Amino acid sequence: MGGEAILHIPEGINFDCTGCGNCCFSWPVPLTDDDLKRICSLEIQGHQKEPVHVIKAGVAGSSGQRAFTSALGKRADGKCQYLSPDNRCQIHNQFGEEAKPSMCRLFPYTFTPTPAGVWAAASFASTGVLYNSGRPLTSQKEHLMRTYELFQSLYPDLAPDWTGLQLVDGQSLGFEEYLKIETRLLSALSENSAAGASSSSSSSSSSTTTSSSSSSEWRTEKILSGLAKQTSIQIKQKRDLDKVPGLETKPRTVDSLLVSSLLTAYFPDDVYKENACEIDTAQLARSLVMPPAKVQLQFDGGLVNFSDLNNYTLGRLNEQAESLLRRFAYLKVFSKLYFGPGFAGLSLIAGLNHLSVIVSLVRIVIKLQNHKSNTKGSEIAFEEVAECVRMLERRLTVASYSRETKTMLEVLLSSSERAERIAMLAS
């Protein structure tokens, strides 16, 4: 910690490795030169001394990160070459945690440096985090501090600029002022929360969680859009695309185009396609000016009419699933990974509405899956929701939006009414 930084740790968030092997599957593990040298020097049982599967990755440093010069190769089945048949890391087993690649030691923890300290969190790409299983992060302070030192060594120049925060495009927001708003946001995401009921996901400022998880009033996405609306009171000059005179495109058509674009970006059919997470802003802009007769959603290799969504039935999400969605939103807000330098440079209002819409997207995806598998009305398996959240987290992690995309999102997400309408669609 260099003796300086204050580490903020979220309450109600648990993690210990579940040994599922999921994080050692499919995704490239970048290596620094030191990682590569260390691994090459180890006599790993069943492996040649020279690791033949190392791929030169060209993932050299950007935005303050130390250069990752190569990546671990995968076996033909997509798993890391060092993953044993019982889903254990052979390097860890033989030589201890410190011998593993830096990225493997860092995962799933995240750290957000700010002028008021460092906010620790964890990624929902991890099974342990999705299930909130293991020890509370608050009881892992020493480990988190060591992991933060590792993070600093990997990202020595990372210094997110929090000076340019905006409440809404064109209206600046000081960091101290933001922190006051954040306290209210975290409190609201904890109060009345189904999240805490089964997984003790509550903030320090909230100790009771009594509401029914099935109450649509307390659905996470509605809380988020409601918070955005409340916070909008501070906007000096309100602008709303829905109310622009002369704009022919109807608000609901704009909703459908936004949902279509975000669904393609965050739930692509081919997750390995290059730039799969990018939004086609030129196409979106054309559609806004000249909307197609029918807006269609790309889903599972086919096309679905957006208007049919209203006729599809969403099965019931149980308390554990609702809790996961609430915890996801809570941690995004806690870690500040949803606006400003934390996500795409969005303003606070657009960031909150975006967060609301992506939670709605999880329900929309499940609705589409229910319809396809003809399982409407029944209770949704928690695993189904967890895999949607995992996919979303992975896409958010790789999303790197152009200035045009950011501008487009800023305009489309300035309206909490839009986020509310999309939440209705997802019900």
User: Which parts of this chain interact with ligand SF4 (CB under 6 A)?
Assistant: 24, 29, 72, 80, 82-83, 89, 91-92, 100-101, 104
Q: Minimum CB separation from ligand SF4 for residue 101, in Å?
A: 5
Contacts of 245 by beta carbon, 8 Å cutoff, 6+ apart: none
Q: Minimum CB separation from ligand SF4 for residue 389, in Å?
A: 21
Q: Residue 224 and residue 219: Cα distance in Å, rounded?
A: 9
In the three-class reduction of DSSP (H, G, I as helix; E, B as strand; rest coil), residue 55 is classed as: strand
Q: Closer to ligand SF4 at the Cβ: 104 or 279?
A: 104
Q: Minimum CB separation from ligand SF4 for residue 46, in Å?
A: 13
Q: Minimum CB separation from ligand SF4 for residue 332, in Å?
A: 25
Q: Minimum CB separation from ligand SF4 for residue 91, in Å?
A: 5
How long is the chain?
427
Please report where in the chains the tokens 């802003």 appear, as a residue.
Answer: 281
Q: Closer to ligand SF4 at the Cβ: 82 or 266?
A: 82
Q: Closer to ligand SF4 at the Cβ: 143 or 243?
A: 143
Helix axes 220-231, 348-373, angle to 10 degrees: 160
Contacts of 238 by beta carbon, 8 Å cutoff, 6+ apart: 232
Q: Minimum CB separation from ligand SF4 for residue 23, in Å?
A: 7
Q: Minimum CB separation from ligand SF4 for residue 100, in Å?
A: 5
Q: Residue 292 and residue 344: Cα distance in Å, rounded?
A: 28
Token pair of 151 as six digits: 């993070």
Q: Closer to ligand SF4 at the Cβ: 327 or 394?
A: 394
Sign, Cα dihedral of 365, 370, 373, 379: positive
Contacts of 210 by beta carbon, 8 Å cutoff, 6+ apart: 192, 197
Could you give the C-alpha distances from 347 to 153, 223, 238, 344, 351, in angstroms and in order?
Answer: 30, 18, 14, 9, 6
Q: Closer to ligand SF4 at the Cβ: 54 or 361?
A: 54
Q: Residue 336 and residue 303: Cα distance in Å, rounded?
A: 34
Amino acid occupying residue 17: C
Q: Closer to ligand SF4 at the Cβ: 91 or 386?
A: 91
Token pair of 20 as six digits: 């599922």
Q: Closer to ligand SF4 at the Cβ: 72 or 325?
A: 72
